[in-house]
């Protein structure tokens, strides 16, 4: 393994597979030819033992880096994935992924020098999670980039490219797109659940991000989901893994199962009767690596005639190719990433990057009468709420350990310093029915000039099955309102008559219709990472002008949602939701104002399959510098098949000084103008398309943020296109 002085590097004649001058394909074939069947099978499980006679060290494939290197000690902790999506900034996400991969490489080689080959020390990272966040009840939605396939694709591409690097020969680390393919809860029954989806929703919503990461980002790995899709287990799904992933998309990397998912095939899905059958059908379908131990039954499967050794060789070769691309069998001087120093971990530059990511992730949802920003001359500030001084709330799930973390209370206290008094009371727990902290909270609220209420969720309430300890639905949420007594506490504070800034923490939409009606200023801060408290104070006191945008729809109540188990997209997300949301996808306010004008289309009439260029001028008409997230939406007005109300087709985050203008241009590709027929085929039909560019969707709730709209006419015959 690279940077491992204990493993010799023999000459080509001794072991072809260790000769860096030979193409990877030949090296992989040479190694497989030297291995016994037992050795081959041993390397197809995530905890792969050493093969001493061939000089192969032990390797555990399982590692995580959703928003920083996870579970391997000190690391820079960036905002949770949903917060990264709220930045709507692909350049920033790319830089974050580069920083994560620097820390990953440094940690890996430091561990190898200490002969530590334990879990979470490798270079194969099972991130990002690009499932569509179709329902706010799903606990793992915080790990995603939101509800929109296009936003998810663009953020995901940037993240994967940042992780894997651009070296012509070697991968910096190996990224993994998960969980393929139709997967977003419910968590408690994921091991037996069958997600039923029609061809239109499959191709319109659930597959596009995976296709984009495979085709455009060249992601090295794909993880199969726990559930079944239309009756067949995802990790043994002949169509998803064979026909689509490797056939239509020409995926060249390896497929890994979610942990325990192969065992689920016979134990919980009861799709087959034995572990031998489960292992055989998974490998034959194209799942190369088993996170778990079911593949240890492959020898018996061969003896029973369920699979042949050639199928084993095919999967094993894909795994060896990944390790070769990572430089694991090459001398350190051959691999450009082996000398990244360990002091890059948690360095000042990465901490500043985490701070910038947290800044850009904050979404200002309401600012009545310009209550924000607050003046630092306030004499007494009350910071009240159960998530105001809890480090765990900063971190979300799948997180690393920061060397220091700034909570909202600490950030506000530091920002005010000796200029005024900052008082704190939790008021209540995140969950539970106790109000014993109300009296203390009310007492300091009465003394304060302003109240900053910090409330919401933590990863103890939303997350993975078994991981969210306080969830009443084993990871998911049964309701989407503020949990416990938090809203009652908020009403108690409101009764004091003092101005209130409500700060929401969490990884998903929270239904707060009463607060929207009664609280003058509301901020969504997500799980903001190690610097969340610092940047929250910057926003509250006006040092930074917020410009994040919602990557999910905020609903008024759970009554606006279809049943959680229903995977049909009708009535879900901004693309199919016909009711009025609490706040729409793409929404976010600012401390300055922007004006849109001069919409231009490259043509008023185009033929099916032609590109369309669209531009508009954006001007900062406020009195301070600020960011704007320019969003392009497209609507097919005359479609004959069911289709989205509108779809995001482009976005760009820009910074403009007061009075400054910029012309932003987008290219709409043919695939962005297609609808899907009943068979899931993409079709561009003749007719009128509406185009809009603005700071949000072209709807009444965002009209005050401004947008410009136009139309283009597509003429010709309906045309099928490759999506």
Condensed to tens digits (0 to 9), the pLDDT of residues 606-664 reads 999 999 999 999 999 999 999 999 999 999 999 999 999 999 999 999 999 999 999 99
Question: Is pLDDT above 50 for 154?
Answer: yes
* Higher per-residue confidence, 259 vs 703: 259
Residue for token pair 């991969």: 101
Please, which residues bridge with residue 423 across strands?
382
- Alpha carbon distance 197, 141 (integer Å): 19
The pLDDT-based confidence of 723 (bands split at 50, 70, 90) is low
CA neighbor of 547 nearest in space, from 429, 439, 631: 631
User: How would you write 620-638 as a 3-class SS string?
Assistant: ECCCCCEEEEEEEEEEECC
- Alpha carbon distance 611, 606 (integer Å): 8
H helices of 495-542, in order, are 513-518, 532-540
Question: Is pLDDT above 90 for 703?
Answer: no
Structure token pair of residue 71: 């579970």
Q: What value does the mean pLDDT take over residues 665-673? A: 96
- Alpha carbon distance 236, 269 (integer Å): 12
Non-local (6+) Cβ contacts of 6 within 8 A are: 115
Q: What value does the mean pLDDT take over residues 83-104? A: 98
Q: Is the dihedral of CA 174, 180, 184, 185 positive or negative?
A: negative
Among 111-120, 345-354, 703-712, the range scoring the smallest mean pLDDT is 703-712
The pLDDT-based confidence of 705 (bands split at 50, 70, 90) is low
- Alpha carbon distance 536, 528 (integer Å): 9
Q: What is the pLDDT of residue 9?
A: 40
Q: 201 by DSSP, 3-state: which?
A: helix
Q: Of residues 143, 211, 258, 464, which has the active-site annotation? A: 258
The pLDDT-based confidence of 702 (bands split at 50, 70, 90) is low
- Alpha carbon distance 533, 407 (integer Å): 4
* Higher per-residue confidence, 723 vs 339: 339
Q: What value does the mean pLDDT take over residues 298-317? A: 98
Q: Is residue 629 within 8 Å of residue 588, measured between CB atoms?
A: yes
Q: What angle do CA 582, 584, 589 make, to 5 degrees?
A: 95
Cis peptide before 186 (omega within 30 of 0): yes
Structure token pair of residue 99: 């920083």
Q: Is residue 585 within 8 Å of residue 398, measured between CB atoms?
A: no
Among 457-461, 564-568, 700-704, the range scoring the smallest mean pLDDT is 700-704
Q: What is the pLDDT of residue 3?
A: 44
The pLDDT-based confidence of 417 (bands split at 50, 70, 90) is confident
Q: What value does the mean pLDDT take over residues 375-384? A: 95
CA neighbor of 249 nearest in space, from 148, 177, 160: 177
Q: What angle do CA 347, 348, 349 make, to 5 degrees?
A: 95
* Higher per-residue confidence, 705 vs 359: 359
pTM above the 0.85 mark?
yes
Phi, psi (rounded to 5 degrees) for 33: -65, -25
Cis peptide before 350 (omega within 30 of 0): no
H helices of 14-134, in order, are 24-34, 37-42, 81-86, 90-113
Residue by residue, DSSP assigns 562-614 as --TT----TT-HHHH--S--SB-TT--B-SS-EEEEEEEES-SEE-TT--EEE
Residue by residue, DSSP assigns 384-437 as ESTTTT-THHHH-SS--B-S----HHHHHHHHHGGGSEEEEE--S-SSSS--TT
Question: Is pLDDT above 80 for 13?
Answer: no
Q: Which domains does the chain have, with CATH numbers?
A: 16-336 (3.20.20.300), 348-576 (3.40.50.1700), 594-721 (2.60.40.10)
Give the model confidence (pLDDT) of 422-437 as tens digits: 999 999 999 999 999 9
The pLDDT-based confidence of 418 (bands split at 50, 70, 90) is confident
- State yes or no: is 116 an active-site residue: no
Q: Is the dihedral of CA 581, 587, 588, 592 positive or negative?
A: negative
- Alpha carbon distance 501, 488 (integer Å): 16
Q: What value does the mean pLDDT take over residues 694-704? A: 82
Q: What is the pLDDT of residue 706?
A: 79
Q: Is residue 33 within 8 Å of residue 94, measured between CB atoms?
A: no
Q: Of residues 220, 410, 462, 705, which has the active-site annotation? A: 462
Q: What value does the mean pLDDT take over residues 240-246? A: 98
Q: What is the pLDDT of residue 69?
A: 98
Non-local (6+) Cβ contacts of 396 within 8 A are: 67, 80, 81, 83, 142, 143, 459, 507, 526, 527
- State yes or no: is 263 an active-site residue: no
Q: Indicate the average pLDDT of the chain.
A: 96
Among 61-70, 354-363, 409-418, 696-705, the range scoring the smallest mean pLDDT is 696-705
Q: What is the pLDDT of residue 704?
A: 58
Q: What value does the mean pLDDT take over residues 427-450? A: 97
């Amino acid at each position: 393994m690279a940077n491992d002085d204990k493993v010799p590097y023999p000459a080509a004649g001794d072991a072809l597979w260790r000769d860096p001058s030979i193409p990877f394909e030949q090296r992989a074939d040479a190694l497989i030819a030297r291995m016994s069947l037992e050795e081959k099978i041993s390397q197809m499980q995530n905890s792969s033992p050493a093969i001493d006679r061939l000089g192969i060290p032990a390797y555990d494939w399982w590692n995580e880096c959703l928003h920083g290197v996870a579970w391997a000690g000190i690391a820079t902790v960036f905002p949770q994935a949903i917060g990264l999506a709220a930045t709507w900034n692909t350049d920033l996400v790319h830089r974050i992924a580069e920083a994560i991969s620097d820390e990953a490489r440094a940690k890996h080689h430091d561990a190898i020098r200490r002969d530590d080959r334990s879990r979470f020390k490798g270079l194969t990272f099972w991130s990002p999670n690009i499932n569509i966040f179709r329902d706010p009840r799903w606990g793992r939605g915080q790990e995603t980039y939101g509800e929109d396939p296009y936003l998810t694709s663009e953020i995901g591409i940037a993240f994967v490219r940042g992780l894997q690097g651009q070296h012509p020969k070697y991968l910096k680390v190996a990224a993994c797109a998960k969980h393929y393919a139709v997967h977003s809860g419910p968590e408690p029954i994921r091991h037996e659940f069958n997600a039923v989806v029609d061809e239109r929703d499959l191709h319109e919503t659930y597959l596009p991000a995976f296709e984009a990461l495979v085709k455009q980002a060249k992601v090295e790995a794909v993880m199969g989901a726990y559930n079944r899709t239309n009756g067949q287990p995802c990790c043994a799904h002949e169509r998803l893994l064979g026909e689509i992933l490797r056939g239509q998309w020409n995926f060249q990397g390896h497929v890994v199962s979610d942990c325990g998912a192969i065992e689920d095939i016979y134990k919980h899905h009861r799709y087959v009767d034995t572990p031998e059958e489960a292992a055989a059908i998974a490998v034959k379908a194209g799942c190369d690596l088993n996170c778990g131990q079911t593949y240890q039954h492959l020898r018996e499967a061969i003896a029973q005639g369920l699979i042949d050794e050639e199928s084993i060789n095919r999967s094993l070769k894909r795994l060896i190719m990944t390790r070769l691309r990572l430089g694991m069998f090459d001398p350190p001087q051959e691999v450009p990433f082996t000398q990244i120093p360990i002091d890059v971990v948690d360095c000042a530059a990465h901490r500043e990057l985490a701070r910038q990511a947290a800044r850009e992730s904050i979404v200002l949802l309401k600012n009545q009468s310009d209550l924000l920003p607050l003046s630092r001359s306030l004499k007494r500030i009350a910071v009240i709420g159960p998530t105001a001084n809890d480090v765990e709330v900063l971190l979300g799930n799948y997180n690393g350990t920061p060397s220091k973390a700034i909570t909202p209370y600490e950030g506000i206290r530091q920002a005010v310093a000796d200029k005024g008094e900052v008082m704190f009371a939790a008021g209540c727990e995140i969950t539970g029915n106790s109000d014993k902290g109300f009296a203390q909270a009310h007492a300091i609220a009465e003394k304060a000039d302003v109240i900053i209420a910090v409330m919401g969720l933590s990863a103890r309430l939303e997350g993975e099955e078994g991981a969210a300890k306080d969830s009443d639905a084993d990871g998911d949420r049964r309701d989407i309102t503020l949990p416990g007594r938090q809203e009652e506490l908020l009403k108690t504070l409101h009764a004091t008559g003092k101005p209130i800034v409500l700060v929401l923490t969490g990884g998903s939409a929270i239904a707060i219709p009463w607060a929207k009606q009664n609280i003058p200023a509301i901020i969504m801060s997500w799980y903001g990472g190690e610097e969340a408290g610092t940047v929250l104070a910057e926003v509250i006191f006006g040092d930074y002008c917020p410009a994040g945008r919602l990557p999910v729809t905020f609903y008024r109540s759970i009554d606006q949602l279809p049943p959680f188990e229903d995977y049909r997209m009708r009535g879900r997300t901004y693309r199919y939701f016909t009711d009025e949301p609490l706040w729409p996808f793409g929404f976010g306010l600012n401390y300055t104002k922007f004006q849109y004008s001069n919409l231009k289309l490259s043509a008023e009439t185009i033929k099916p399959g032609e590109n369309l260029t669209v531009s508009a001028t954006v001007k900062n008409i406020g009195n301070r510098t600020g960011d704007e997230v320019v969003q392009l939406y497209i609507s097919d007005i005359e479609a004959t098949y069911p289709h989205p109300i509108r779809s995001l087709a482009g976005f760009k985050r820009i910074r403009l000084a007061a009075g400054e203008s910029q012309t932003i241009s987008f290219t709409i590709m043919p695939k962005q103008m297609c609808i899907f027929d009943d068979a899931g085929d993409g079709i561009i039909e003749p007719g009128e398309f509406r185009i809009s560019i603005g700071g949000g969707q072209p709807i009444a709730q965002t009209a005050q943020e401004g947008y410009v709209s136009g139309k283009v006419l597509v003429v010709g015959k309906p045309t099928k296109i490759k999506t």
